[in-house]
A and B are shown apart, each in its own frame.
Chain A
Amino acid sequence: MADVREGTTIRRRLLLTLAVFGALAAAALLLAPLVGSAPIRLRRVFDRSLPFADNPDAQIFFIARLPRVLAGALVGSALAASGVVLQALLRNPLATPFTLGVSAGAALGAMLVITFPVHVALGGLPAVPLASFAGSLGAVAIVYALATARRGGVSTNVLLLAGVTLNAFFSALILFVQYLADYSQTFRAVRWLMGDLDVAGYLPIAAALPLVLAAFAAFAYLPRALNLLALGADLAASRGIDVRRTQRLAFFSASLATGAAVSLGGPIGFIGIVVPHLVRLIVGADHRLVLPASALFGAAFLIACDVGARSLLAPMELPVGILTAMIGGPFFLWLLIRRS
């Protein structure tokens, strides 16, 4: 009887959460393409009588703005949701999507092709995003192999330590590669590390979308298990959770989402930690609410930051990673002080 009542309560709260955060994300998606440095007229944007090639308003809308907004939504939601999953998996509120070395692996991949240019293009995708995604997969494989080497299951402590160590090790390799680069390559490499959503087309988004959707499909199975896992692996096991399977699913899906997001937009910081904590302040700790709300809020937050990135210094770009960190950093510190 109590379970039934709890079931209806959570369903009602879930609907309310989805409605509020969904409205926020939808508003960001709809309003952001209307804002920018160049004045455009919506009537001209959707004027079908003009050929697309002769319509700068439509091109600014559909090539310069809409892809950025969509990329921001995809990257923001992937990073925020991965943050939630990893914080629960590692039982560590300071975990971020970048804690386990995925982004460092991605960065190393990107640095390598920026410094030693190779011409590989897979279905029109340039080498840098491909290499960064390959790098993230490599990092995931290494961390997972380390975490499972000692005993059968995933040791979250080893996972955490392996991730942190791998991050440091990859950072050294990244610096070494940069040191070998000439100044213009170093410049491009440093710029990549600041994050950038100016993708100027839909192909990179289309490439990242299935990966993020696959990760989100896996996330859909996780919230209940994460709730129990957050209380401890033994307790979760006693309540009928297949702990190993859950940990594996959480680790791989969060890594996949992070790898796809980083290869699309670069390692954009703070979203994966600020958004989940802010959302928990509003909806509580239940992952059935936190996970979807964080995905939606992450999308809205990054879209909003990117509007700033492309407008504040226009016609110059302000790297979006700088903006998220400048907003996210102080906010997170405030959160820390407030809680302690």
Chain B
Amino acid sequence: MTTVIVGLLAACGGQPARQPAPPKTPQRIVSLVPAVTEMLYAIGAGPRMVGASSFDTYPPEVRALPKVGGLIDPDLERIISLRPDLVVISATHAELGVQLRSAGLATFPYALGDLANVTHTIRILGTVTGLDREAASVIAGLESRFEAVRDRVKGRPKVRTLLVFSRQPGSLRGVYVSGGTGFLHDLLELAGGENVFAGVRREAVQATTEAIISAAPDAIVELRTGPAPASGEIERERRSWDALPAVPAVRTGRIFVLVGDELVVPGVRVADTAERIAGVLHPDGFVR
């Protein structure tokens, strides 16, 4: 039985690898993680992809690949039948990882992390696939766009912002916001915002109405995923906030609803998200 774990951590020199890297570069890759799928395409490993998760929609080519389930329902049989030599799984998929490795398949466990983890993961993927140069150029592209955003917001006062990524439509119930960790928090700070819930060291926080009023954000940025909103719906959703007139963002109307599934995917499109957030928080710094 060959049991191989990709030397994920070793590649960055951070922590020792538990097992050696696979002997040759993988040629048949299955990815269960949409963020990693788009990184693989970006570094040119797209042609080696033989399967993707049921939630993968980007890049468009990925829709043509066989679907192998998602985070909660990976289809082990179908994965094995695709004869992959590398399977990208979520780090939370401990059991799946054991099953795949006992089938002799190499796995790449991916853990959700902060913004630095995005470029970090791209770099490791480059090493694993033998596409280091391509990976380096993707990273350089992302970093130069981050730098451009930083330059544009430099010297401008930070905007105290509430970053919302989920709530019950049409009401202010079940409002989930970004806490002080994770790539969304990092993107907000990069884009010249100051996260009003930075003090909560979690990625997702269900904020009470009381906490939102007392946090008194000057801007509210909502990230909206899922089906495209009907006409007028965005405006209706913005008006939901009228229930909290003491919040400065509500009084000044600085409530911005950004639409797109990519907004919550920590993949190669994070620079777009940074630019869009910076664009609404600091509109005069951006001529779009």
B205 contact from A54, A63, A187, A315, Cβ within 8 A: A315
Q: Using a Cβ–Cβ cut-off of 8 Å, how many residues does chain B contribute to the interface with A? A: 40
Contact, CB under 8 Å: A52 / B245: yes
Interface residues of A in 185-218 (CB under 8 A from B): 185, 187-188, 191-192, 196, 198-201, 204
Q: How far is the CB of A228 from chain B (nearest CB, A)?
A: 42
Contact, CB under 8 Å: A64 / B55: no
- Please tell me if A93 contacts chain B, counting CB pairs below 8 Å: no
Using Cβ atoms and an 8 Å threshold, which residues of chain A touch B236? 119
Among A38, A55, A59, A200, the one with the most B-chain Cβ atoms within 10 Å of its Cβ is A200
Using Cβ atoms and an 8 Å threshold, which residues of chain B touch A316? 200, 202, 205-208, 211
B230 contact from A119, A128, A179, Cβ within 8 A: A119
Using Cβ atoms and an 8 Å threshold, which residues of chain A touch B176? 187
- Please tell me if A36 contacts chain B, counting CB pairs below 8 Å: yes
Contact, CB under 8 Å: A201 / B243: yes
**Closest residue of A by beta carbon distance from B251:** A53
Among B172, B206, B207, B226, the one with the most A-chain Cβ atoms within 10 Å of its Cβ is B206
User: Do A314 and B174 form a contact, CB below 8 Å, given A53-B251, A117-B227?
Assistant: no
Interface residues of B in 213-238 (CB under 8 A from A): 213-216, 225-227, 230, 233, 236
Contact, CB under 8 Å: A315 / B208: yes
Bound-state Cα–Cα, A52 to B55, Å: 46
- Please tell me if B173 contacts chain A, counting CB pairs below 8 Å: yes
Contact, CB under 8 Å: B55 / A183: yes
Using Cβ atoms and an 8 Å threshold, which residues of chain B touch A314? 208, 210-211
B210 contact from A37, A52, A55, A192, Cβ within 8 A: A37
Q: How far is the CB of B241 from chain A (nearest CB, A)?
A: 10
- Please tell me if B15 contacts chain A, counting CB pairs below 8 Å: no
Contact, CB under 8 Å: A317 / B207: yes
Bound-state Cα–Cα, A154 to B169, Å: 40
User: Do A187 and B208 form a contact, CB below 8 Å, given A56-B214, A126-B171?
Assistant: no
Contact, CB under 8 Å: B210 / A64: yes
- Please tell me if A310 contacts chain B, counting CB pairs below 8 Å: yes
Using Cβ atoms and an 8 Å threshold, which residues of chain B touch A310? 208, 210
**Closest residue of A by beta carbon distance from B199:** A315
Contact, CB under 8 Å: B170 / A191: no
Contact, CB under 8 Å: B216 / A56: yes
Contact, CB under 8 Å: A199 / B197: no
User: Do A184 and B208 form a contact, CB below 8 Å, given A52-B245, A196-B174, A200-B243?
Assistant: no
Contact, CB under 8 Å: A117 / B208: no
Interface residues of B in 17-32 (CB under 8 A from A): none
Query: Chain B at the A interface: mostly helix, strand, loop or mixed?
Result: loop
Bound-state Cα–Cα, A196 to B213, Å: 18
Bound-state Cα–Cα, A127 to B171, Å: 9
- Please tell me if B244 contacts chain A, counting CB pairs below 8 Å: yes
Produce 1/0 per residue, A94-115, CB < 8 A to B: 0000000000000000000010
Contact, CB under 8 Å: A191 / B246: no
Contact, CB under 8 Å: A60 / B245: no
Q: How far is the CB of A35 from chain B (nearest CB, A)?
A: 11
Contact, CB under 8 Å: B200 / A59: no
Produce 1/0 per residue, A3-36, CB < 8 A to B: 0000000000000000000000000000000001
Bound-state Cα–Cα, A63 to B214, Å: 12
- Please tell me if B137 contacts chain A, counting CB pairs below 8 Å: no
- Please tell me if B117 contacts chain A, counting CB pairs below 8 Å: no
Contact, CB under 8 Å: B205 / A59: no
Q: Using a Cβ–Cβ cut-off of 8 Å, how many residues does chain A contribute to the interface with B? A: 42
Using Cβ atoms and an 8 Å threshold, which residues of chain B touch A60? 210, 213-214
- Please tell me if B12 contacts chain A, counting CB pairs below 8 Å: no
Using Cβ atoms and an 8 Å threshold, which residues of chain B touch A200? 171-173, 209, 243-244
Using Cβ atoms and an 8 Å threshold, which residues of chain A touch B216? 56
- Please tell me if A287 contacts chain B, counting CB pairs below 8 Å: no
Q: How far is the CB of A113 from chain B (nearest CB, A)?
A: 9
- Please tell me if B98 contacts chain A, counting CB pairs below 8 Å: no
Produce 1/0 per residue, A46-78, CB < 8 A to B: 000000111110111001110010000000000
Bound-state Cα–Cα, A68 to B208, Å: 11
Contact, CB under 8 Å: A315 / B226: no
- Please tell me if B111 contacts chain A, counting CB pairs below 8 Å: no
Contact, CB under 8 Å: A126 / B209: no
Bound-state Cα–Cα, A324 to B220, Å: 32
- Please tell me if A335 contacts chain B, counting CB pairs below 8 Å: no
Bound-state Cα–Cα, A64 to B174, Å: 13
B207 contact from A53, A65, A315, Cβ within 8 A: A315
Contact, CB under 8 Å: A315 / B200: yes
User: Do A199 and B173 form a contact, CB below 8 Å, given A37-B208, A38-B214, A314-B208?
Assistant: yes
Using Cβ atoms and an 8 Å threshold, which residues of chain A touch B202? 316
User: Do A184 and B226 form a contact, CB below 8 Å, given A315-B207, A316-B207, A317-B208?
Assistant: yes
- Please tell me if B2 contacts chain A, counting CB pairs below 8 Å: no
- Please tell me if A326 contacts chain B, counting CB pairs below 8 Å: no
Using Cβ atoms and an 8 Å threshold, which residues of chain A touch B200? 315-316
Using Cβ atoms and an 8 Å threshold, which residues of chain B touch A114? 168
Contact, CB under 8 Å: B210 / A36: yes
Bound-state Cα–Cα, A58 to B246, Å: 9
Question: 11 A-B contacts, Cβ less than 8 Å apart?
Answer: A37-B210, A52-B245, A52-B246, A64-B209, A117-B227, A121-B170, A126-B171, A188-B168, A201-B171, A315-B210, A316-B211
Q: Which residues of A contact B (CB under 8 A)?
A: 36-38, 52-56, 58-60, 63-65, 68, 114, 117, 119, 121, 126-128, 179, 182-185, 187-188, 191-192, 196, 198-201, 204, 310, 314-317
Q: Which 8 A-B pairs have the closest CB atoms?
A: A315-B211, A126-B170, A64-B210, A38-B214, A64-B209, A59-B246, A317-B206, A200-B172
